[in-house]
Structure 1
Amino acid sequence: MPYNEEIMQELNVLNMFNLDTTQEGIKVHSSAKPEIISATQRLFDKGLVTQNDGGYLTPLGHDAAENSQTLLTILLTESRL
């Protein structure tokens, strides 16, 4: 199943989180792009963040963000073959 635009926006929101600390969350303001606001609401509905405008990652959200950020790092690393 390929990624659709909604999934891509959710991954973008997950990539905003600093995984080095659990004391730092995000706040998506009402002036943010509508697709980011919607993606954040969907992450809240899925139980990945604590507030509908961001907040903190839940344990499941932390796992998802970690995987998302790892995948992005892998894809952005140039091949050494």
Structure 2
Amino acid sequence: MPLSPEIVAEMQVLRMFDTSTNQSGLKVHSDASPDTINATRRLYEKQLISQIDGGYLTPLGYECSVHLQQMLQILNSKPLL
């Protein structure tokens, strides 16, 4: 399955959240790029974040963000030879 530009933008927004604490939220301002604003809206519609302009990760959003960060860490690691 190819990654659409919309999914990539959503992944970039999810990467901005700090998953080490549930006390850290995110606010996407009106001067952010249209791609970021639209991605944030879609994440809200998918119930991954609590507010249309960011807010906090929902439980499902937290799980998704953790898996995304783990995947990126694996893909960015150097191969063991």
TM-score (norm: length of structure 2): 0.97
Q: CA deviation at 1:75?
A: 0.9
After superposition, give the CA deviation of every residue in 1:19-55 in whole Å (9 maximum; x if it has no partner).
1100001000000011000000000000000000000
- In the TM superposition, what are the counterparts of 1:42-57 in structure 2 within 5 Å? 42-57=42-57
Unaligned runs of 5+ in 1: none
Who is 2:37 aligned against? 37
Moved over 6 A (4+): none
2:56 partner SS: strand
Distance 2:12 2:70 in 1: 13
Q: CA deviation at 1:67?
A: 0.7
Amino acid at match of 2:62: H
Q: Percent identity?
A: 49
Who is 1:69 aligned against? 69
Amino acid at match of 1:40: T
Who is 1:4 aligned against? 4
Distance 2:75 2:3 in 1: 15
